[in-house]
């Protein structure tokens, strides 16, 4: 219902009855809720499911290769005369028959030959020694024949079919297995994942998301209802006095701040997407594998230092797991730093810049954290560090964030693996400064864009999800260190980014290894 008011000066104003909410306010709220639901349940969850399935596939591939190494070990024993061929095969089968993994310790390995004939199956001993060339799943697929064909074609690969649920022969579910041929004995070894396991994890995540999103939506509706009510009340009171007019102006200013905050939240969501996905996918698998297998494997390999797992020494494998866990911890720290810098960007705060920092160590750590991204972007990565550089005063993690941002930008700019990235430290022409330089040989940046790349929310990658926050935040961090960041991009010759930081005169006599 529209209500018309006339002020004493003859000016007329239109407003609405508090009991009738205008469509122009309700519609954006409803569209926001709908977009929120669609994004969570029709975009994020399907992507998460695909990534989890890819992770499971990679997991069973590594497990099968580990089991394959067991066959190779006993084959070598038979070749050097320690065991006869028959004894070696029996010992290998016995060891793999007892090998279990997974949350319930119910996942297993099996062996068949190229006939195909079943050699060993922990849950189907009735098939052992039988010709399984005509064995079909409930859908009619001759799964073991397809496994033989896969091995003949490429040596290993994935096969999907229907199979019994672990040791419950009456329950048939979809399964995906990875098989690998062992040529010396003409065997095929494999293991698989149940699609139902992944679906159950997705259902668990969906339930948690449902509860979380429901809470967020309720809170959002309450806040929206409060804003709508306040807006209607303010609009009505505005017709009565100029004081209410000023109140309305304050509300408009607050609404503008909320719009800016919404843009910042969108930027945060983009910035934390990759590390958050890494945590969700890698952390559970790494922790379970590390905690469950390490005590057993340490005991097993205590006197077997020459044995190999996944075609590498066991100690190397353990070191890789440690590196993965470290990467997860670093990703978590990076998320916190990004959020902290976004808060600093919207509400400036004085940072602690009084700690000695070794810029070479900042570069080394940054390259280590982004190595997987850089390896996918270029085959020519060069790192040149000046060991004679003095310490500077600043914040190690904030400078690391700046270097990481420049490295990722350089990697994203490259169009071929033959393009290069060069990272170096040294002394610039400006006396009293230390320099960090990141140079790529990509297509470069147009002069018109180069002048604006450090502006907040300006980006040339908006179609690819860019928000324009990275370089703006990086410049703010460098300014807090009383330094400067500058870019140079000759046409078609890539981009050179230089960070100049003032030397710590007192720190020149300190230990160069101290970084914080």
> Which CATH number does the domain housing residue 164 bear?
3.30.450.20
Task: For residues 74 and 186, state if they share a domain.
Answer: yes
Per-residue pLDDT of the chain in tens (516 residues, 90 and over written 9): 444 444 434 444 444 444 444 566 677 777 877 887 788 777 877 887 788 888 888 999 999 999 999 999 999 999 999 999 999 999 999 999 999 887 778 789 999 999 999 999 998 888 899 999 999 888 899 999 999 999 999 999 999 999 887 667 788 888 899 999 999 999 999 998 888 777 777 788 778 877 887 787 788 778 777 777 776 676 676 666 666 566 556 545 644 554 565 566 556 656 666 666 666 666 666 667 677 777 777 787 777 777 777 777 777 777 777 677 777 767 766 666 655 555 544 444 455 677 899 999 999 988 888 888 899 999 999 999 999 999 999 888 889 888 998 998 889 889 899 999 999 999 888 788 999 999 999 888 877 777 667 655 445 554 454 444 467 778 888 888 889 898 888 877 888 999 999 987 554 444 444 443
In a domain? residue 213 = no
User: Residue 303: its pLDDT value, please?
Assistant: 77
Task: For residues 286 and 362, state if they share a domain.
Answer: no
Among the listed residues 32, 191, 161, the one whose alpha carbon sits nearest the alpha carbon of residue 99: 191
Task: For residues 445 and 367, state if they share a domain.
Answer: yes
Backbone angles phi, psi at 451, to 5 degrees: -75, -15
Question: Domain ends where: 149, 173, 199?
Answer: 199
Task: For residues 341 and 359, state if they share a domain.
Answer: no
Global pTM reads 0.38
Whole-angstrom CA distances from 141 to 6, 161, 179, 234 are: 81, 7, 16, 70
Show the tokens assigned to 217. Answer: 């939506």
Task: For residues 326 and 438, state if they share a domain.
Answer: no
- The answer to whether 421 and 410 are in contact (CB under 8 A) is yes
For the four alpha carbons of 335, 336, 339 and 344, in that order, the dihedral sign comes to negative
Whole-angstrom CA distances from 469 to 51, 64, 96, 164, 453 are: 27, 44, 52, 51, 10
Q: Helices 470-480 and 396-413 sit at what angle, rounded to 10 degrees?
A: 150
User: Residue 73: its pLDDT value, please?
Assistant: 94
In a domain? residue 17 = no
User: Residue 88: its pLDDT value, please?
Assistant: 94
Alpha carbon 349 to its chain centroid, in Å, reads 29
Task: For residues 274 and 411, state if they share a domain.
Answer: no
Q: Which residues contact 485 (CB under 8 A, 6 or more apart)?
A: 402, 454, 471, 474, 475, 478, 497, 498, 499, 500
Question: Domain ends where: 183, 199, 215?
Answer: 199
- What CATH number is attached to the domain comprising 443? 3.30.565.10
In a domain? residue 14 = no
User: Residue 514: its pLDDT value, please?
Assistant: 43
Task: For residues 367 and 503, state if they share a domain.
Answer: yes
In a domain? residue 37 = no
β-sheet bridge partners, residue 110: 190
Distance CA 252, CA 256 (A): 6
Look at the chain and report how many structural domains it folds into.
3
Distance CA 130, CA 147 (A): 16
- The answer to whether 342 and 379 are in contact (CB under 8 A) is no
Task: For residues 187 and 289, state if they share a domain.
Answer: no
DSSP-derived letter for residue 42 is I
Question: Domain ends where: 349, 371, 404?
Answer: 349
Pure H helices in 414-513 = 447-450, 470-480
- The answer to whether 83 and 99 are in contact (CB under 8 A) is no
Give the chain's radius of gyration (CA, Å): 31
Domain span holding position 68: 50-199
Core vs surface per residue 88-105: b (16+ CB within 10 A) or e: bbebbbeebbebebbeee
CB atoms < 10 A from the CB of 109, how many?
25
User: Residue 238: its pLDDT value, please?
Assistant: 65
In a domain? residue 91 = yes
Task: For residues 387 and 345, state if they share a domain.
Answer: no
Task: For residues 486 and 344, state if they share a domain.
Answer: no
List, as one string, the DSSP characters of 242-271.
HHHHHHHHHHHHHHHHHHHHHHHHHHHHHH
In a domain? residue 206 = no
Task: For residues 383 and 320, state if they share a domain.
Answer: no
Mode of pairing for the β-strands spanning 484-488 and 433-440 = unpaired
- The answer to whether 93 and 118 are in contact (CB under 8 A) is no
User: Residue 157: its pLDDT value, please?
Assistant: 94
Backbone angles phi, psi at 412, to 5 degrees: -70, -25
For the four alpha carbons of 503, 509, 512 and 514, in that order, the dihedral sign comes to negative
In a domain? residue 423 = yes
Among the listed residues 358, 347, 441, 454, the one whose alpha carbon sits nearest the alpha carbon of residue 405: 454
Among the listed residues 171, 179, 109, the one whose alpha carbon sits nearest the alpha carbon of residue 144: 179
In a domain? residue 309 = yes
Task: For residues 384 and 459, state if they share a domain.
Answer: yes
Mode of pairing for the β-strands spanning 187-194 and 110-113 = antiparallel
Among the listed residues 328, 330, 399, the one whose alpha carbon sits nearest the alpha carbon of residue 360: 399
């Amino acid at each position: 219902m529209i209500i018309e008011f006339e002020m004493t000066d003859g000016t007329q104003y239109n407003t609405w009855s508090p009991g009738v909410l205008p469509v122009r306010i309700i519609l954006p709220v409803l569209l926001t809720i709908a977009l929120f639901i669609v994004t969570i349940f029709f975009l994020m969850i399907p992507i998460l499911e695909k990534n989890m399935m890819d992770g499971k596939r990679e997991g069973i591939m590594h497990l099968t290769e580990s089991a394959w190494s067991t066959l190779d070990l006993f084959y070598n024993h038979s070749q050097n005369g320690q065991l006869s061929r028959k004894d070696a095969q029996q010992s290998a089968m016995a060891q793999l028959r007892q090998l279990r993994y997974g949350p319930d310790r119910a996942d297993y390995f099996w062996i068949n030959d190229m006939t195909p004939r079943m050699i060993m199956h922990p849950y189907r001993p009735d098939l052992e020694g039988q010709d399984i060339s005509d064995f079909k799943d409930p859908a009619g697929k001759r799964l073991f024949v397809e496994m033989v064909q896969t091995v003949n074609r490429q040596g290993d690969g994935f096969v999907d079919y229907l199979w019994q649920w672990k040791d419950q022969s009456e329950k048939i579910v979809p399964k995906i297995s990875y098989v690998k041929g062992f040529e010396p004995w003409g065997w095929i070894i494999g293991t698989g994942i149940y699609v139902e396991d992944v679906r159950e994890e997705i259902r668990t995540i969906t339930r948690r998301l449902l509860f979380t999103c429901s809470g967020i939506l309720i809170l959002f509706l309450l806040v929206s209802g409060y804003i709508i009510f306040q807006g209607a009340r303010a609009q009505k009171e505005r017709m009565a006095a100029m004081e209410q007019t000023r109140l309305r102006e304050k509300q408009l200013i607050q609404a503008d701040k909320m719009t800016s905050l919404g843009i910042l939240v969108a930027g945060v969501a983009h910035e934390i997407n990759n590390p958050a996905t890494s945590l969700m996918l890698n952390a559970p698998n790494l922790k379970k594998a590390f905690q469950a297998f390490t005590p057993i494997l340490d005991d097993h390999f205590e006197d077997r230092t020459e044995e190999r797992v996944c075609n590498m020494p066991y100690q190397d494998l353990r070191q890789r797991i440690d590196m993965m866990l470290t990467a997860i911890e670093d990703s978590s720290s990076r998320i916190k730093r990004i959020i902290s810098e976004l808060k600093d960007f919207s509400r400036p705060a004085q940072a602690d810049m009084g700690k000695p920092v070794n810029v070479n160590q900042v570069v080394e750590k940054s390259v280590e954290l982004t190595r997987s991204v850089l390896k996918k972007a270029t085959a020519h990565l060069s790192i040149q560090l000046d060991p004679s550089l003095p310490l500077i005063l600043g914040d190690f993690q904030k400078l690391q964030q700046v270097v990481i941002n420049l490295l990722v930008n350089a990697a994203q700019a490259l169009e071929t693996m033959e393009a290069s990235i060069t990272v170096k430290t040294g002394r610039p022409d400006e006396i009293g400064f230390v320099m960090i330089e990141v140079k790529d040989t990509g297509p470069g940046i147009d002069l018109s864009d180069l002048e604006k790349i450090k502006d907040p929310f300006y980006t040339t990658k908006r179609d690819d999800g860019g928000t324009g926050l990275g370089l703006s935040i990086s410049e703010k961090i460098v300014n807090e260190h009383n330094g400067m960041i500058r870019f140079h991009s000759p046409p078609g010759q890539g981009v050179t980014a230089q960070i100049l930081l003032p030397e710590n005169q007192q720190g020149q006599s300190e230990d160069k290894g101290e970084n914080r």
